[in-house]
Protein backbone atom coordinates (compact mmCIF):
# COMPACT_ATOMS: atom_id res chain seq x y z
CA UNK A 1 0.00 0.00 0.00
CA UNK A 2 1.44 3.33 -1.08
CA UNK A 3 -0.06 6.07 1.05
CA UNK A 4 1.56 9.44 1.58
CA UNK A 5 0.00 12.61 2.94
CA UNK A 6 0.24 15.52 0.54
CA UNK A 7 1.51 18.89 1.80
CA UNK A 8 -2.01 20.23 1.28
CA UNK A 9 -3.55 17.51 3.47
CA UNK A 10 -0.88 17.96 6.13
CA UNK A 11 -1.80 21.64 6.28
CA UNK A 12 -5.52 20.88 6.46
CA UNK A 13 -5.05 18.42 9.33
CA UNK A 14 -2.83 20.89 11.18
CA UNK A 15 -5.47 23.62 10.80
CA UNK A 16 -8.24 21.31 11.99
CA UNK A 17 -6.29 20.11 15.04
CA UNK A 18 -5.50 23.69 16.00
CA UNK A 19 -9.16 24.70 15.60
CA UNK A 20 -10.36 21.73 17.68
CA UNK A 21 -7.90 22.57 20.48
CA UNK A 22 -8.55 26.32 20.47
CA UNK A 23 -12.26 26.62 19.63
CA UNK A 24 -14.10 23.36 20.35
CA UNK A 25 -12.59 21.54 23.32
CA UNK A 26 -13.05 24.66 25.50
CA UNK A 27 -16.80 24.45 24.70
CA UNK A 28 -17.16 20.96 26.12
CA UNK A 29 -18.03 21.97 29.72
CA UNK A 30 -21.02 23.92 28.38
CA UNK A 31 -21.86 21.15 25.93
CA UNK A 32 -22.02 18.65 28.79
CA UNK A 33 -24.19 20.78 31.07
CA UNK A 34 -26.48 22.82 28.80
CA UNK A 35 -29.15 21.86 26.22
CA UNK A 36 -27.89 21.88 22.66
CA UNK A 37 -30.47 24.56 21.80
CA UNK A 38 -28.75 26.97 24.19
CA UNK A 39 -25.34 26.23 22.72
CA UNK A 40 -26.51 26.45 19.10
CA UNK A 41 -25.71 30.16 18.58
CA UNK A 42 -22.10 29.50 19.57
CA UNK A 43 -21.97 26.44 17.34
CA UNK A 44 -23.22 28.56 14.43
CA UNK A 45 -20.42 31.04 15.07
CA UNK A 46 -17.86 28.23 14.95
CA UNK A 47 -19.39 26.85 11.75
CA UNK A 48 -19.10 30.30 10.16
CA UNK A 49 -15.42 30.34 11.12
CA UNK A 50 -14.91 26.94 9.48
CA UNK A 51 -16.57 28.17 6.28
CA UNK A 52 -14.36 31.24 6.28
CA UNK A 53 -11.33 28.94 6.58
CA UNK A 54 -12.69 27.03 3.52
CA UNK A 55 -12.75 23.74 5.44
CA UNK A 56 -16.53 23.25 5.43
CA UNK A 57 -18.02 19.88 4.38
CA UNK A 58 -14.62 18.31 3.68
CA UNK A 59 -15.96 15.07 2.18
CA UNK A 60 -18.71 16.59 0.05
CA UNK A 61 -18.61 17.42 -3.70
CA UNK A 62 -17.12 20.75 -4.72
CA UNK A 63 -20.07 21.57 -6.99
CA UNK A 64 -22.31 21.62 -3.92
CA UNK A 65 -19.96 23.65 -1.73
CA UNK A 66 -17.80 20.95 -0.16
CA UNK A 67 -14.06 20.48 -0.10
CA UNK A 68 -14.17 17.39 -2.31
CA UNK A 69 -11.75 15.22 -0.35
CA UNK A 70 -11.39 11.54 -1.18
CA UNK A 71 -12.24 8.74 1.24
CA UNK A 72 -8.70 8.27 2.51
CA UNK A 73 -8.18 12.01 2.91
CA UNK A 74 -11.43 12.43 4.79
CA UNK A 75 -10.48 9.52 7.04
CA UNK A 76 -7.64 11.65 8.37
CA UNK A 77 -10.01 14.58 8.83
CA UNK A 78 -12.45 12.35 10.70
CA UNK A 79 -9.68 11.24 13.04
CA UNK A 80 -8.81 14.85 13.87
CA UNK A 81 -12.43 15.90 14.36
CA UNK A 82 -13.24 12.81 16.43
CA UNK A 83 -11.29 14.19 19.37
CA UNK A 84 -14.40 16.13 20.44
CA UNK A 85 -18.12 15.32 20.06
CA UNK A 86 -18.56 18.75 18.48
CA UNK A 87 -16.01 18.21 15.71
CA UNK A 88 -17.94 16.68 12.84
CA UNK A 89 -21.04 18.80 13.46
CA UNK A 90 -19.10 22.07 13.45
CA UNK A 91 -17.32 21.09 10.22
CA UNK A 92 -20.49 19.98 8.40
CA UNK A 93 -19.64 16.30 7.97
CA UNK A 94 -21.69 14.66 10.74
CA UNK A 95 -23.68 11.47 10.50
CA UNK A 96 -26.36 10.82 9.40
CA UNK A 97 -26.25 13.90 7.14
CA UNK A 98 -22.99 12.78 5.52
CA UNK A 99 -24.51 9.47 4.44
CA UNK A 100 -27.76 11.07 3.35
CA UNK A 101 -25.81 13.55 1.23
CA UNK A 102 -24.01 10.67 -0.45
CA UNK A 103 -27.31 8.93 -1.21
CA UNK A 104 -28.90 12.09 -2.59
CA UNK A 105 -25.83 12.83 -4.71
CA UNK A 106 -25.76 9.32 -6.23
CA UNK A 107 -29.47 8.55 -6.51
CA UNK A 108 -31.42 11.79 -6.15
CA UNK A 109 -33.31 13.44 -8.98
CA UNK A 110 -32.41 16.98 -9.98
CA UNK A 111 -35.48 18.23 -8.11
CA UNK A 112 -34.44 16.32 -4.97
CA UNK A 113 -30.89 17.62 -5.19
CA UNK A 114 -31.99 21.23 -5.42
CA UNK A 115 -34.60 20.93 -2.67
CA UNK A 116 -32.67 18.77 -0.20
CA UNK A 117 -29.05 18.14 -1.17
CA UNK A 118 -27.85 21.68 -1.75
CA UNK A 119 -29.17 23.18 1.54
CA UNK A 120 -28.04 20.06 3.42
CA UNK A 121 -24.44 20.40 2.25
CA UNK A 122 -24.58 24.13 3.07
CA UNK A 123 -25.61 23.34 6.64
CA UNK A 124 -28.86 25.30 6.28
CA UNK A 125 -30.91 22.23 7.25
CA UNK A 126 -30.36 18.85 8.92
CA UNK A 127 -31.71 15.40 8.09
CA UNK A 128 -32.16 11.99 9.70
CA UNK A 129 -32.15 8.35 8.59
CA UNK A 130 -35.10 6.24 9.72
CA UNK A 131 -34.38 2.52 9.47
CA UNK A 132 -34.12 0.66 12.80
CA UNK A 133 -37.38 -0.70 14.20
CA UNK A 134 -38.40 -1.21 17.79
CA UNK A 135 -39.55 -4.84 17.80
CA UNK A 136 -37.31 -6.29 15.08
CA UNK A 137 -33.66 -7.32 15.19
CA UNK A 138 -31.42 -4.55 13.91
CA UNK A 139 -28.78 -7.19 13.19
CA UNK A 140 -31.04 -8.46 10.38
CA UNK A 141 -32.12 -5.33 8.47
CA UNK A 142 -34.23 -7.24 5.94
CA UNK A 143 -36.71 -7.78 8.78
CA UNK A 144 -38.81 -4.66 8.37
CA UNK A 145 -42.45 -4.02 9.26
CA UNK A 146 -42.80 -0.39 8.12
CA UNK A 147 -44.77 -0.19 4.86
CA UNK A 148 -45.18 2.38 2.10
CA UNK A 149 -48.30 1.61 0.09
CA UNK A 150 -49.14 3.37 -3.16
CA UNK A 151 -52.33 5.41 -3.19
CA UNK A 152 -52.82 7.47 -6.31
CA UNK A 153 -49.64 9.51 -6.82
CA UNK A 154 -48.56 9.09 -3.20
CA UNK A 155 -46.99 6.64 -0.78
CA UNK A 156 -48.78 6.15 2.53
CA UNK A 157 -46.25 5.16 5.21
CA UNK A 158 -47.08 3.29 8.42
CA UNK A 159 -44.65 1.94 10.98
CA UNK A 160 -42.60 2.57 14.09
CA UNK A 161 -38.89 3.44 14.00
CA UNK A 162 -36.40 4.28 16.70
CA UNK A 163 -32.80 5.39 17.09
CA UNK A 164 -33.49 7.84 14.29
CA UNK A 165 -30.45 9.96 15.09
CA UNK A 166 -30.83 13.75 14.97
CA UNK A 167 -34.54 13.70 14.06
CA UNK A 168 -35.14 16.45 16.63
CA UNK A 169 -34.99 19.60 14.51
CA UNK A 170 -34.38 17.82 11.21
CA UNK A 171 -35.95 19.06 7.98
CA UNK A 172 -36.49 15.64 6.45
CA UNK A 173 -36.00 11.93 6.98
CA UNK A 174 -34.88 9.24 4.57
CA UNK A 175 -37.14 6.32 5.49
CA UNK A 176 -36.62 2.66 4.73
CA UNK A 177 -39.99 0.98 4.18
CA UNK A 178 -41.41 -2.06 2.43
CA UNK A 179 -42.85 -1.14 -0.94
CA UNK A 180 -42.63 -4.57 -2.56
CA UNK A 181 -43.54 -7.17 0.11
CA UNK A 182 -43.86 -10.00 -2.42
CA UNK A 183 -40.30 -9.59 -3.76
CA UNK A 184 -37.28 -11.50 -2.45
CA UNK A 185 -36.05 -10.23 0.91
CA UNK A 186 -33.36 -7.99 -0.58
CA UNK A 187 -35.75 -6.18 -2.93
CA UNK A 188 -38.72 -5.44 -0.68
CA UNK A 189 -37.63 -2.10 0.73
CA UNK A 190 -37.22 1.35 -0.76
CA UNK A 191 -35.83 4.67 0.46
CA UNK A 192 -38.28 7.56 0.54
CA UNK A 193 -37.78 11.22 1.49
CA UNK A 194 -40.25 12.32 4.15
CA UNK A 195 -40.32 15.99 5.26
CA UNK A 196 -40.54 16.05 9.05
CA UNK A 197 -43.51 18.45 9.01
CA UNK A 198 -45.62 15.93 7.06
CA UNK A 199 -48.86 15.00 8.88
CA UNK A 200 -48.39 11.52 10.32
CA UNK A 201 -44.68 11.98 11.04
CA UNK A 202 -44.75 11.85 14.84
CA UNK A 203 -41.61 12.32 16.92
CA UNK A 204 -42.66 10.39 20.03
CA UNK A 205 -39.58 11.09 22.16
CA UNK A 206 -35.84 11.46 22.25
CA UNK A 207 -34.74 8.10 23.63
CA UNK A 208 -32.74 8.37 26.88
CA UNK A 209 -29.30 6.79 26.40
CA UNK A 210 -28.06 5.67 29.81
CA UNK A 211 -30.28 8.30 31.36
CA UNK A 212 -29.59 11.16 28.93
CA UNK A 213 -32.19 12.00 26.27
CA UNK A 214 -30.27 14.78 24.57
CA UNK A 215 -31.82 17.31 22.20
CA UNK A 216 -31.33 18.73 18.74
CA UNK A 217 -28.63 17.08 16.69
CA UNK A 218 -27.30 15.15 19.70
CA UNK A 219 -30.33 12.86 20.15
CA UNK A 220 -31.90 9.61 18.97
CA UNK A 221 -35.65 9.68 18.34
CA UNK A 222 -38.52 7.27 18.27
CA UNK A 223 -40.73 8.02 15.26
CA UNK A 224 -44.26 6.81 14.64
CA UNK A 225 -45.45 6.97 11.02
CA UNK A 226 -49.25 7.03 10.95
CA UNK A 227 -50.76 7.28 7.48
CA UNK A 228 -47.89 9.57 6.56
CA UNK A 229 -48.52 10.61 2.97
CA UNK A 230 -45.76 11.78 0.61
CA UNK A 231 -45.64 12.01 -3.21
CA UNK A 232 -44.10 9.09 -5.10
CA UNK A 233 -41.57 11.50 -6.61
CA UNK A 234 -39.91 11.41 -3.16
CA UNK A 235 -38.64 7.91 -3.94
CA UNK A 236 -34.83 7.67 -4.02
CA UNK A 237 -33.51 5.55 -6.86
CA UNK A 238 -35.78 2.79 -8.06
CA UNK A 239 -38.43 0.99 -6.07
CA UNK A 240 -37.14 -2.08 -4.24
CA UNK A 241 -33.51 -0.88 -4.28
CA UNK A 242 -33.39 0.36 -0.69
CA UNK A 243 -30.87 -2.21 0.49
CA UNK A 244 -28.66 -1.82 -2.57
CA UNK A 245 -28.60 1.94 -1.99
CA UNK A 246 -27.83 1.39 1.70
CA UNK A 247 -24.76 -0.64 0.75
CA UNK A 248 -23.39 2.39 -1.10
CA UNK A 249 -23.14 4.33 2.16
CA UNK A 250 -22.07 1.50 4.48
CA UNK A 251 -18.44 1.05 3.40
CA UNK A 252 -17.43 4.72 3.38
CA UNK A 253 -19.65 5.33 6.42
CA UNK A 254 -17.77 2.76 8.46
CA UNK A 255 -14.45 4.34 7.51
CA UNK A 256 -15.80 7.68 8.81
CA UNK A 257 -17.05 6.03 12.01
CA UNK A 258 -13.86 4.08 12.66
CA UNK A 259 -11.54 7.03 12.12
CA UNK A 260 -13.77 9.11 14.38
CA UNK A 261 -13.33 6.36 16.96
CA UNK A 262 -9.56 6.55 16.51
CA UNK A 263 -9.85 10.28 17.24
CA UNK A 264 -11.78 9.43 20.41
CA UNK A 265 -9.06 6.94 21.34
CA UNK A 266 -6.41 9.62 20.87
CA UNK A 267 -8.33 12.03 23.11
CA UNK A 268 -8.96 9.45 25.84
CA UNK A 269 -5.33 8.31 25.66
CA UNK A 270 -4.12 11.89 26.06
CA UNK A 271 -6.35 12.35 29.11
CA UNK A 272 -5.16 9.02 30.52
CA UNK A 273 -1.48 9.91 30.21
CA UNK A 274 -1.95 13.44 31.56
CA UNK A 275 -3.88 12.20 34.57
CA UNK A 276 -1.33 9.44 35.25
CA UNK A 277 1.49 11.98 35.13
CA UNK A 278 -0.20 14.50 37.43
CA UNK A 279 -2.12 12.37 39.94
CA UNK A 280 -0.11 12.10 43.17
CA UNK A 281 -0.92 9.03 45.27
CA UNK A 282 1.31 9.55 48.33
CA UNK A 283 3.06 12.40 50.19
CA UNK A 284 6.41 11.48 48.58
CA UNK A 285 5.25 12.64 45.15
CA UNK A 286 4.63 9.21 43.61
CA UNK A 287 2.14 9.44 40.76
CA UNK A 288 0.00 6.90 38.97
CA UNK A 289 2.51 7.02 36.09
CA UNK A 290 5.11 5.43 38.42
CA UNK A 291 3.01 2.28 38.75
CA UNK A 292 3.88 -0.57 36.39
CA UNK A 293 0.25 -1.55 35.80
CA UNK A 294 -0.49 1.96 34.52
CA UNK A 295 2.65 1.86 32.36
CA UNK A 296 1.47 -1.46 30.92
CA UNK A 297 -1.95 0.04 30.15
CA UNK A 298 -0.30 2.98 28.39
CA UNK A 299 1.87 0.70 26.26
CA UNK A 300 -1.04 -1.59 25.39
CA UNK A 301 -3.32 1.33 24.48
CA UNK A 302 -0.63 2.91 22.29
CA UNK A 303 -0.08 -0.36 20.42
CA UNK A 304 -3.79 -1.06 19.94
CA UNK A 305 -4.55 2.47 18.73
CA UNK A 306 -1.74 2.37 16.18
CA UNK A 307 -2.78 -1.08 14.94
CA UNK A 308 -6.43 -0.02 14.64
CA UNK A 309 -5.50 3.15 12.80
CA UNK A 310 -3.44 1.26 10.23
CA UNK A 311 -6.27 -1.26 9.75
CA UNK A 312 -8.73 1.53 8.96
CA UNK A 313 -6.36 3.33 6.61
CA UNK A 314 -5.75 0.05 4.77
CA UNK A 315 -9.51 -0.56 4.45
CA UNK A 316 -10.04 2.97 3.11
CA UNK A 317 -7.20 2.53 0.64
CA UNK A 318 -8.68 -0.74 -0.62
CA UNK A 319 -12.16 0.77 -0.99
CA UNK A 320 -10.67 3.59 -3.09
CA UNK A 321 -8.62 1.19 -5.24
CA UNK A 322 -11.00 -1.76 -5.62
CA UNK A 323 -14.42 -0.73 -4.33
CA UNK A 324 -16.40 -1.54 -1.20
CA UNK A 325 -17.38 -5.02 -2.38
CA UNK A 326 -13.75 -6.14 -2.65
CA UNK A 327 -13.06 -4.69 0.80
CA UNK A 328 -15.96 -6.39 2.60
CA UNK A 329 -13.71 -8.36 4.91
CA UNK A 330 -11.61 -5.34 5.83
CA UNK A 331 -14.76 -3.29 6.50
CA UNK A 332 -16.16 -5.92 8.86
CA UNK A 333 -12.81 -6.36 10.61
CA UNK A 334 -12.39 -2.68 11.43
CA UNK A 335 -16.01 -2.33 12.59
CA UNK A 336 -15.69 -4.70 15.54
CA UNK A 337 -11.96 -4.32 16.19
CA UNK A 338 -11.86 -0.53 16.43
CA UNK A 339 -15.10 -0.35 18.45
CA UNK A 340 -13.65 -2.72 21.06
CA UNK A 341 -10.31 -0.90 21.21
CA UNK A 342 -12.15 2.39 21.70
CA UNK A 343 -14.16 0.94 24.55
CA UNK A 344 -11.02 -0.40 26.19
CA UNK A 345 -9.12 2.89 25.92
CA UNK A 346 -12.05 4.95 27.26
CA UNK A 347 -12.56 2.50 30.12
CA UNK A 348 -8.90 2.60 31.16
CA UNK A 349 -8.81 6.39 30.92
CA UNK A 350 -11.91 6.53 33.11
CA UNK A 351 -10.35 4.09 35.59
CA UNK A 352 -7.18 6.18 35.86
CA UNK A 353 -9.34 9.24 36.60
CA UNK A 354 -11.07 7.42 39.45
CA UNK A 355 -14.16 9.16 40.78
CA UNK A 356 -13.50 12.17 38.52
CA UNK A 357 -13.93 9.94 35.48
CA UNK A 358 -17.52 9.14 36.46
CA UNK A 359 -18.51 12.80 36.43
CA UNK A 360 -19.13 15.23 33.59
CA UNK A 361 -16.17 17.31 34.72
CA UNK A 362 -14.27 15.56 31.90
CA UNK A 363 -15.52 14.31 28.53
CA UNK A 364 -14.84 10.66 29.48
CA UNK A 365 -18.21 9.83 31.04
CA UNK A 366 -19.99 11.24 27.97
CA UNK A 367 -17.81 9.12 25.68
CA UNK A 368 -18.42 6.05 27.83
CA UNK A 369 -22.21 6.54 27.70
CA UNK A 370 -22.56 7.27 24.02
CA UNK A 371 -19.80 5.24 22.37
CA UNK A 372 -20.62 1.88 23.99
CA UNK A 373 -23.27 1.63 21.28
CA UNK A 374 -20.50 1.47 18.66
CA UNK A 375 -20.43 -2.30 19.21
CA UNK A 376 -24.14 -2.49 18.33
CA UNK A 377 -25.10 0.00 15.61
CA UNK A 378 -24.18 -0.58 11.95
CA UNK A 379 -24.15 -4.30 12.75
CA UNK A 380 -23.41 -5.88 16.12
CA UNK A 381 -19.86 -7.17 16.68
CA UNK A 382 -21.08 -10.76 16.55
CA UNK A 383 -22.63 -10.28 13.10
CA UNK A 384 -19.40 -8.88 11.67
CA UNK A 385 -17.31 -11.65 13.22
CA UNK A 386 -19.53 -14.32 11.69
CA UNK A 387 -19.39 -12.56 8.30
CA UNK A 388 -15.58 -12.42 8.40
CA UNK A 389 -15.27 -16.05 9.50
CA UNK A 390 -17.54 -17.22 6.69
CA UNK A 391 -15.55 -15.30 4.10
CA UNK A 392 -12.33 -16.83 5.37
CA UNK A 393 -13.74 -20.36 5.58
CA UNK A 394 -14.96 -20.17 1.98
CA UNK A 395 -11.31 -19.91 0.96
CA UNK A 396 -10.74 -23.22 2.70
CA UNK A 397 -13.60 -24.93 0.90
CA UNK A 398 -16.01 -24.78 3.83
CA UNK A 399 -19.61 -24.28 2.72
CA UNK A 400 -21.61 -21.81 4.80
CA UNK A 401 -24.96 -22.54 6.37
Taking each helix axis from N to C end, the angle separating 328-353 and 242-278, rounded to the nearest 10 degrees, works out to: 30
The secondary structure of residue 208, as a DSSP letter, is P
The kind and range of the H/E element at 188 are none
Instruction: From 311, 340, 258, 343, select the one nearest 78 (Cα to Cα).
Output: 258
* Rounded Cα gap, residues 150 and 395, in angstroms: 45
Report pLDDT digits (tens) over 139-153.
Answer: 666 778 999 999 999
Residue ranges of domains in the chain, CATH in brackets: 7-94 (1.10.540.10), 127-239 (2.40.110.10), 244-394 (1.20.140.10)
Positive or negative, the CA dihedral 307, 312, 313, 317 is positive
Q: Output the pTM of the full model.
A: 0.94
Query: Torsion angle of alpha carbons 204, 210, 215, 217, nearest 10°?
Result: -100
Tell me: cis bond preceding 334? Omega within 30 of 0 counts.
no
Report pLDDT digits (tens) over 274-327.
Answer: 999 999 999 999 999 999 999 999 999 999 999 999 999 999 999 999 988 889
What are the CA-CA distances from residue 127 to residues 57, 179, 237 (Å)? 15, 22, 18
Phi-psi category of residue 148: left, alpha or beta, with phi > 0 → left and psi -120 to 50 → alpha: beta
3-state secondary structure of 222: strand
* Rounded Cα gap, residues 386 and 384, in angstroms: 5
Per-residue pLDDT of the chain (401 residues; tens, 9 = 90+): 666 788 999 999 999 999 999 999 999 999 999 999 999 999 999 999 999 999 999 999 899 999 999 999 999 999 999 999 999 999 999 999 999 999 999 999 999 999 999 999 999 999 999 999 988 766 666 778 999 999 999 999 999 999 999 999 999 999 999 999 999 988 999 999 999 999 999 999 999 999 888 999 999 999 999 999 999 999 999 999 999 998 877 778 889 999 999 999 999 999 999 999 999 999 999 999 999 999 999 999 999 999 999 999 999 999 999 988 889 899 999 999 999 999 999 999 999 999 999 999 999 999 999 999 999 987 889 999 998 999 999 999 876 66
Strands 201-206 and 214-215: unpaired
User: Residues 23, 75, 361, CA angle at the centre, nearest 5°?
Assistant: 40
CB atoms within 10 A of CB 122: 16
Amino acid sequence: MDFTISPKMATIIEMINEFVDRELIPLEPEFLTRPTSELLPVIREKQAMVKKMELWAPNQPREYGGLGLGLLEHALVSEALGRTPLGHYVFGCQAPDAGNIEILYLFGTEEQKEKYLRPLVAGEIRSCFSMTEVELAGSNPVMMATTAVKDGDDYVINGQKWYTTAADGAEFAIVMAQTNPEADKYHRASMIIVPCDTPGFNLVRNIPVMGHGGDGYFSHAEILYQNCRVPQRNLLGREGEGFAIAQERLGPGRIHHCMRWIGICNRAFDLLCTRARDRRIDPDGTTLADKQIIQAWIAECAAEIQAARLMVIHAAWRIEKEGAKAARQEISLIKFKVANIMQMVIDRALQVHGGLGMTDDTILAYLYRHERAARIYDGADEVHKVAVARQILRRYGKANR
